[in-house]
């Protein structure tokens, strides 16, 4: 049977270690979502498996997306960058429309598609990686010129900033700025512009962080959560208590008590605290090790693509590494009290369909790159690319 033109021609194996780590994280996430959400689900719906059943469906869809994304030619993904970016902008607008957008606790971050909800900011992260990677490759040396190279990116960031901060979703916008900055830097942006952009972005994000009273309260509470344990510091205090109860080896899977309405967002933003209580610091460190190994594998795949002269694939891999590894570090830092309290999902673990599916889409593209450039030495990969293109 003839393959379609957009199907990956190479039949080489994908990175096996990364494949298994992703699948293990998805499976472990399902177990922990059930453990962390069962009391809340039983109280709210009468079905202790309510959130776990939905997570199982999300996980199955994410695994399918992971596989098929790994089989699609990277060149096809590159051609999709502009359409996906346009679709992301449209969806970011639709969250504000009645009967289409869904408001939860005053935030407009979701679109209602009959039985499922889509969070456009997660699609945006995936589309942004494709868009900026292609932009950097196409602009090349023009990145050093403000008007021709940087101004269009600043316009895009400005538009995204308005749409995301109106939701409001400060965390997603901070990640958008981080992803864009990393890709521009790796793409060859002159150091002077890097320092200037970092100073401007840092100042702007800092001003936004303290402009809203609730954000300022989170920052001050992070420094001393025990000063207001029943107010701004409540989430962090409960998280730290959970880790304290778990100790080194934990109280046992399913035997934690903090998920019984003590710990807010126990199956989403603060699921690591439940892991720490039930599996102890041994479980937390094992999870951190999986993230570290997966991040290293993503980096190696990007390095092989760079050695072969495939700048777009290399940049996309490094951007995915920033997204995947960055959110893991941020989520862990928030749960452990090392960073101000902010909603960051624990990648492939926390409850949520949009984050699972679109992160798996990005990881699938990375696995597709690993199929194209198997684990050879950098010199061998470069020689293979020279033969193929020469």
pLDDT surpasses 90 at 174: no
What integer is the mean pLDDT of 147-154?
78
What integer is the mean pLDDT of 74-95?
92
Q: Tokens standing for 268? A: 């989403």
Q: Assess if residue 254 is contained within a domain.
A: yes
Q: Assess if residue 358 is contained within a domain.
A: yes
What SS3 class is residue 117?
strand
Expressed as residue numbers, the domain containing 190 is 55-384
Q: Assess if residue 332 is contained within a domain.
A: yes
Q: What total number of domains does the chain contain? A: 1
pLDDT surpasses 50 at 1: no
- pLDDT tens, residue by residue, 242-273: 999 999 999 999 999 999 989 888 999 999 99
- Residue 232's pLDDT band, with cuts at 50, 70 and 90, is confident
What SS3 class is residue 109?
strand
State the virtual CA torsion across 247, 253, 255, 261 in degrees, nearest 10: 90
Q: Rounded to 5, what percent of the chain is helix, strand, coil?
A: 70, 5, 25
Q: Assess if residue 339 is contained within a domain.
A: yes
Structure confidence at residue 344 (pLDDT): 83
Q: Assess if residue 299 is contained within a domain.
A: yes
Distance CA(371)–CA(13), nearest Å, equals 5
Closest listed residue to residue 274, CA positions, set 243, 318, 311, 309: 243
Q: Assess if residue 39 is contained within a domain.
A: no
- Count Cβ atoms within 10 A of the Cβ of residue 93 and give its class: 0-12 exposed, 13-18 middle, 19 or more buried: middle
Dmax (CA) of the chain: 67
- pLDDT tens, residue by residue, 40-73: 999 999 999 999 999 999 999 999 999 999 999 8
Q: Assess if residue 194 is contained within a domain.
A: yes
Q: Assess if residue 3 is contained within a domain.
A: no
């Amino acid at each position: 049977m003839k393959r379609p033109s957009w199907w990956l021609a190479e039949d080489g194996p994908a990175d096996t270690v990364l494949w298994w780590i992703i699948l293990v994280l998805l499976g472990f996430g399902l177990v922990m979502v059930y453990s962390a959400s069962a009391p809340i689900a039983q109280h709210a719906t009468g079905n202790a498996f309510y959130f776990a059943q939905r997570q199982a469906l999300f996980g199955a869809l994410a695994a399918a997306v992971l596989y098929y994304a790994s089989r699609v030619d990277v060149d096809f993904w590159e051609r999709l960058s502009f359409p996906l970016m346009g679709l992301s902008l449209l969806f970011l607008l639709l969250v504000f429309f009645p009967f289409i957008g869904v408001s939860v606790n005053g935030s407009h971050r979701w679109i209602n598609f009959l039985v499922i909800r889509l969070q456009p900011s997660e699609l945006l992260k995936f589309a942004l990686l494709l868009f900026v990677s292609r932009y950097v490759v196409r602009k090349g040396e023009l990145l050093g010129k403000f008007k021709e190279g940087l101004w269009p990116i600043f316009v895009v960031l400005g538009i995204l900033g308005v749409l995301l901060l109106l939701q409001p979703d400060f965390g997603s916008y901070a990640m958008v700025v981080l992803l864009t900055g990393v890709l521009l830097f790796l793409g060859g942006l002159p150091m002077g512009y890097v320092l200037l952009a970092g100073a401007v972005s840092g100042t702007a994000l800092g001003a936004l962080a303290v402009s809203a009273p609730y954000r300022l309260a989170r920052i001050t509470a992070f420094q001393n959560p025990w000063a207001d344990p029943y107010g701004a510091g409540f989430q962090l205090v409960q998280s730290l208590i959970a880790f304290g109860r778990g100790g080194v080896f934990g109280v046992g899977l399913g035997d934690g008590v903090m998920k019984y309405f003590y710990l807010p967002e126990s199956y989403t933003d603060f699921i690591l605290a439940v892991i720490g209580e039930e599996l102890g610091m041994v479980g937390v460190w094992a999870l951190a090790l999986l993230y570290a190994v997966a991040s290293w594998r993503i980096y190696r795949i990007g390095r092989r693509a760079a050695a072969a002269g495939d700048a777009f694939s290399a940049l996309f891999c490094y951007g995915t590494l920033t997204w995947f590894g960055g959110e893991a570090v941020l989520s862990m830092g928030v749960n452990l009290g090392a960073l101000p309290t902010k909603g960051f999902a624990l990648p492939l673990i926390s409850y949520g369909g949009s984050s699972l599916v679109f992160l798996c889409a990005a990881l699938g593209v990375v696995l597709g790159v690993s199929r194209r450039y198997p684990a050879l030495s950098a010199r061998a990969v470069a020689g293979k690319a020279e033969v193929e293109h020469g």
